[in-house]
Amino acid sequence: MDKGMLSMNIKINKLVQSMKRYDLDAVIATSPESVHYLSGYSSLGQPLGVFIAALLSKEGDITIVVPKTHIDLLCQEKVPDVNVRCYGEFYANFLDEEKLSPAERAFKNFLTQDQTKLSAIEVLSRVLKDGRLESARVGMEEEKLSATLFKRLKDSLPELRILEASEIFKRARMVKTEEEITLLGKAVQITEKGVQNALEIAREGVTEAELASVFEETLIEEHAKPLGTWMGFGAHSAFPNVVPSASVRLRKGDIIRFDVGCVYEGYCSDIARIKVFGKPSSEQKRIYEVILQGEQRTLEAVRAKAKACDLFSLAVGYIRKAGLRDYVRHHVGHGIGSQVYEPPTISPSDETPLERNMVINFETPYYLVGLGGFQVEDTVRVTDEGYEYLSKMERDLE
């Protein structure tokens, strides 16, 4: 069994277990992330707002519902071993069969399998009927489904019992497979390379926008997509989602703050570093030391079974005691995977015990508006005894 198939079996088993627990006959993923998780159908090329779904039966069979307009995306990659049902309308012309490659033949088969031009919900309804699921108990990612389509599905199959199952998918996705951890690590590496390349052009008078361009160009060279480039200098860096400006120029003594990420092969990164251009002031050093130590001490307590809320208390408690008495946060970290924010959240209300192979971001930002943003954010993999860094870039202020 190859690594991809092993990874897929682990995922399916987890979801089938959840289905048993909640007495569900099937679950339907409707977010690009969960569809990709279940089927390998890549949401990378997927334009926004287009309906896709993946249905997993309790027997472990997977059927994806995708638009004909994007079905060629499926043929250009290794075709996943799932049932495919297309909806909508799209046309192409074909040379004689013997002149076509396997991918081209697959494309032809998908386009011509059904000429009825059915809508997305009509096709999903048929898939449910074909599986004798029209009056079944079905868990669905309602959170990621539009209200309009949800109504149409209810109208089309009034006997269907739909339960909100976003949490089932999120929980299944919390613990990562080796394959996923490799991709998450690669996404972090690319991001760190981008930050390093951007810092290389740091000089007096350079603009935020110029540094941001170098950062994003690095991602593109590495076949990743920019996900959020919050990057700023000096006082501007204190805006949490700082949008790089073409009019803010770097001056001696400025903080340069990066809170940045990318998507690589469907997996996200999100790391933060600050550097001072020139010599850090004693105030900058003092604050940074407190928040860095806050992150580091929290990481020292990370291991399987540690509770998210306890790690939160530890971080905020340390930072307040160490000198930032007004420190308030709603979280000091979050799971990361095919989405930037995944459970668990390292927050006062999340009692999730960490598990081996969760991948979690830890961060202890302190936005001092008027002065600057102080932040360090790292990505780690949880192990039985502790953690391993996926983010490796040094944490020096200078």
> Is 90 near a second copy (CB under 8 A)?
yes
Segment lying near a second copy (by CB under 8 A), choices 14-22, 55-63, 238-246, 376-384? 238-246
Strand partners, 40: none
Size of the site for a second copy (CB under 8 A): 69
Distance in angstroms (rounded) separating the CA atoms of residues 69 and 50: 10
> Is 137 near a second copy (CB under 8 A)?
no
- Closest by CA to 302, choosing from 386, 361, 363, is 386
Residue 83, token pair as written in the block: 């049932």
> Is 49 near a second copy (CB under 8 A)?
yes
> Is 89 near a second copy (CB under 8 A)?
yes
Name the amino acid, one letter, at 160.
L
Strand partners, 220: none
Stretch (H or E) spanning 381: strand 377-382
Q: What is the DSSP letter of 53?
A: E
Segment lying near a second copy (by CB under 8 A), choices 123-131, 182-190, 290-298, 363-371? 363-371
* Residue 354 exposure: Cα atoms within 13 Å on the Cβ side: 32
In the stretch 146-185, what mask flags binding to a second copy with x, by CB under 8 A? xxxxxx------------x-x-------------------
> Is 47 near a second copy (CB under 8 A)?
yes
Alpha helices in 157-281 (DSSP H): 166-174, 178-200, 208-221
Q: Return the number of the residue (59 or 99) whose C-beta is nearest a second copy.
A: 99
Distance in angstroms (rounded) separating the CA atoms of residues 131 and 250: 62
Q: How far is the CB of 133 from a second copy (least distance, A)?
A: 19
Q: Contact at 8 Å (CB) between 269 and 336?
A: yes
> Is 1 near a second copy (CB under 8 A)?
no
Q: Return the number of the residue (366 or 387) whose C-beta is nearest a second copy.
A: 366
Enumerate residues 262-301 that contact a second copy by CB under 8 A.
none
Q: Return the number of the residue (88 or 386) whose C-beta is nearest a second copy.
A: 88
- Closest by CA to 337, choosing from 6, 9, 59, 37, is 37
Enumerate residues 312-351 that contact a second copy by CB under 8 A.
326-330, 340
Q: Return the number of the residue (145 or 183) whose C-beta is nearest a second copy.
A: 145
Residues 6+ apart with CB under 8 A from 90: 67, 68, 69, 71, 111
Q: How far is the CB of 163 from a second copy (least distance, A)?
A: 12
Segment lying near a second copy (by CB under 8 A), choices 11-19, 130-138, 139-147, 169-177? 139-147
Name the amino acid, one letter, at 144.
K
Distance in angstroms (rounded) separating the CA atoms of residues 237 and 386: 32
Q: How far is the CB of 243 from a second copy (least distance, A)?
A: 5
Q: Return the number of the residue (238 or 306) whose C-beta is nearest a second copy.
A: 238
Distance in angstroms (rounded) separating the CA atoms of residues 254 and 249: 10
Distance in angstroms (rounded) separating the CA atoms of residues 219 and 59: 40
* Residue 189 exposure: Cα atoms within 13 Å on the Cβ side: 8
Q: Which of 350, 368, 383, 386 binds a second copy (CB under 8 A)?
A: 368
Where on the chain is the footprint of a second copy (CB under 8 A)?
Answer: 44-45, 47-49, 69-70, 72-73, 75-77, 89-96, 99-101, 104, 107-108, 142-151, 164, 166, 209, 213, 216-217, 220-221, 223, 225-226, 228, 235, 238-243, 245-246, 326-330, 340, 366-371
